[in-house]
């Protein structure tokens, strides 16, 4: 049973929503970030980057205090205001090729600790602790975690009903995406949504693993510090965007390797040939068409690698995942990559566009070899998670990517 709750969001005024909201901070190039900070005084990026005007380094503790101060300034200037009634928020993001629509709500840290909310990849403790400090110092979170759930007729019916009405927000951004938001504060519909999610046994984290873990760590800490803890305090919940599984898009990451671990190209092909059938594609761009098949670019030529089933043993759901197969058969034993998350020899790049990046990055001389694969499916993700296993890092690049500060959750 998944616990979801309406909450009183802090939101930008209708006339400033397009100017205030932003992409994730890391999504901007330095030039883009500078332009936003220089020419848009309403951008939420001013809150995230409050030391910009000082042009000097500050400690993370000082920065978090400045973030809180700037956030308070935005509220006092009426760029933001808090809703009077708890609500769910329908958020629709239309890209040039796809439409995503789900519900922003508060979800329970208790569900994460009880394995109702499940993760599919591991997190870094250093990042967890840093974001936990950020949440405690600033007192708010402005970017929801992306959770996915099985399609539900009751929830879909409520969403479609509201989509026929005028949105609270409706604007288009320079990436040609349009953004719409509706507020659900009707008690009957809130009850229907809450009850519908009680039938959902598992919510899967699609994006935002570190934010989820940090929020839940902070919830435990604040509960211990609060002598009058009831379990209903805002810190016991975190903001999530709940999206039906059918709308989730999963893309793969390509792998780029800096050296051949002391092998020459011929020796590498011999070692790989013990586990894979190798077909040279020459200059023909090759992209896998089936599971257990990989593309490789080496010395100016593409290769198709197909797993020899006789040379590999499937032992569990994770062993069937292409990213895991590549690691256990090639990256680790042949190319000497032990720590797939932190080894500087390997670099990842999401392959949403199916570009020729596999070729161009190797041709540049920065890398010796590259590998591509098909994206994982939602079924693979769920099977692995339900078996209490974790995918290797950089297995999935998931969309939609959410905007910050359309709704803000205060702890």
If we measure between CA atoms, which residue out of 188, 120, 25 comes closest to residue 382? 120
What phi, psi does 69 have (nearest 5°)? -65, -45
| End-to-end Cα separation, the chain, in angstroms | 23
Q: Tokens standing for 281?
A: 């594609």
CB atoms inside a 10 Å sphere around CB 401: 16
CB-based contact 182:167 (threshold 8 Å): yes
- Between CA 247 and CA 203 the distance in angstroms is 15
Burial of 155-168, coded b for 16+ CB within 10 Å and e otherwise, reads beebbeebeeeebb
Residue 265 has pLDDT above 90, yes or no: yes
Q: Provide the percentage of residues in the chain whose pLDDT is more than 70.
A: 98
Q: Tokens standing for 296?
A: 């490789």
User: What are the DSSP calls for 298-322, one per residue?
Assistant: ETTEEEEEEE-GGG----STGGGSH
CB atoms inside a 10 Å sphere around CB 64: 20
pLDDT in tens, 186-213: 999 999 999 999 999 999 999 999 999 9
- Between CA 123 and CA 342 the distance in angstroms is 12
CB-based contact 299:282 (threshold 8 Å): no
In the structure, what pLDDT confidence band is assigned to residue 335 with cuts at 50, 70 and 90?
very high
- Between CA 246 and CA 137 the distance in angstroms is 37
What residue has token string 């190039």?
29
Q: What average pLDDT does the chain have? A: 94
pLDDT of residue 185: 96
| Mean pLDDT value across residues 74-80 | 95
Look up the pTM and report it: 0.91
Residue 353 has pLDDT above 80, yes or no: no
Residue 122 has pLDDT above 90, yes or no: no
CB-based contact 81:10 (threshold 8 Å): yes
Domains, the chain, with CATH or none: 4-249+399-410 (no CATH), 253-395 (3.30.1760)
In the structure, what pLDDT confidence band is assigned to residue 400 with cuts at 50, 70 and 90?
very high
CA 25 to chain centre: 13
Residue 332 has pLDDT above 70, yes or no: yes
């Amino acid at each position: 049973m998944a616990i979801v709750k309406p909450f009183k969001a802090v939101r930008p005024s209708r006339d400033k929503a397009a100017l205030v909201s932003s992409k994730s901070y890391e999504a901007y190039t330095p030039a883009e970030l500078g332009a936003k900070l220089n020419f848009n005084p309403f951008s939420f990026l001013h809150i995230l980057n409050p030391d910009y005007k000082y042009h000097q380094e500050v400690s993370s503790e000082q920065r978090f205090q400045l973030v809180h101060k700037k956030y308070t300034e935005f509220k006092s200037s009426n760029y933001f205001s808090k809703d009077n009634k708890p609500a769910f928020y329908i958020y629709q993001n239309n890209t040039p090729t796809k439409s995503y629509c789900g519900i922003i709500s508060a979800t329970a840290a208790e569900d994460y600790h009880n394995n109702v909310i499940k993760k599919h990849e591991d997190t870094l403790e250093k990042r967890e602790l840093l974001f936990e400090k950020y949440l405690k110092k600033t007192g708010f979170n402005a970017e929801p975690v992306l959770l996915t759930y099985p399609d539900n007729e009751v929830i879909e019916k409520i969403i479609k009903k509201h989509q026929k009405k005028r949105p609270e927000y409706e604007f288009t951004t320079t990436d040609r995406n349009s953004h719409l938001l509706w507020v659900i504060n009707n008690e009957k519909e809130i009850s229907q949504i809450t009850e519908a999610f009680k039938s959902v046994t598992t919510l899967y984290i699609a994006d935002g693993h570190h934010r989820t873990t940090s929020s839940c760590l902070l919830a435990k800490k604040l509960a211990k510090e609060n002598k009058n803890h009831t379990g209903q305090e805002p810190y016991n919940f975190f903001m999530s965007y709940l999206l039906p599984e059918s709308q989730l898009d999963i893309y793969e990451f390509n792998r780029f390797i800096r050296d051949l671990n002391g092998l020459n190209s011929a020796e590498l092909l011999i070692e790989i040939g013990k586990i894979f059938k190798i077909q040279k594609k020459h200059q023909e761009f090759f992209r896998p068409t089936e599971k257990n098949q990989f593309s490789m670019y080496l010395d100016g030529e593409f290769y198709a690698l197909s797993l020899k089933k006789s040379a590999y043993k499937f032992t569990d759901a994770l062993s069937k995942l292409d990213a895991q197969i590549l690691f256990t058969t090639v990256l680790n034993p042949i190319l000497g990559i032990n720590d797939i998350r932190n080894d500087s020899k390997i670099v990842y790049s999401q392959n949403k566009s199916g570009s020729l990046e596999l070729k161009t990055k190797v041709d540049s001389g920065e890398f010796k070899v590259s590998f591509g694969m098909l994206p994982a499916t939602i079924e693979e993700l769920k099977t692995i998670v339900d078996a209490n296993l974790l995918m290797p890092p950089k297995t999935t690049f998931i969309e939609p990517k959410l905007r910050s500060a359309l709704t803000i959750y205060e702890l």
